[in-house]
Structure 1
Amino acid sequence: MKLPVWLQSLFLSLVLISGFAFGADAPATVNINSADAQTLAESLIGVGEVRAREIVKWREAHGAFSSVEQLADVKGVGAVVLQK
């Protein structure tokens, strides 16, 4: 069942707000559909500059990621990176 966009947005907002309540101990979140290569490389464990550029390149060629697991379609991103 697909939720309406407004409900997805509300849920995401609540998740992000609650993450800020935990302070510095909470892991930073990054939007894989809008972050630039530098932000991806700095924010994602196991993703360096080359992989980050590949993620952006894939996104530009195929459109937005529908799930985090779809990162496995990017050259150089495998199960180990996804697990991290």
Structure 2
Amino acid sequence: MSSTALASLTPLWLGGPASAVLQVADPDDWFEPVRTIGDRQEDAPLILGHGSNVIASGTAHEGTVAVMNTRASP
């Protein structure tokens, strides 16, 4: 888990800092971010795919951002 700017995760390079970012490359690893978000009792975590349909605010996101870096099987 790390802190990073949402801008670095979107093609438009928009978005402020996120409190925590969880990168998930394997669909089988989704349990970890779900557990982490649950342990923090977050109301509105942000689930981000490739970010092409996201325009993020320049203000800080106080919750966790789970980034799906997974690819569908052919």
Instruction: Decide which structure has the larger Cα Rg and report it.
Output: 1
Question: Structure 2 length as normaliser, TM-score?
Answer: 0.29
TM-score normalised by length of structure 1: 0.27
- Structure 1 or 2: more helix by fraction: 1
Q: Which has the higher contact order (CA 8 A, sep 6+)?
A: 2
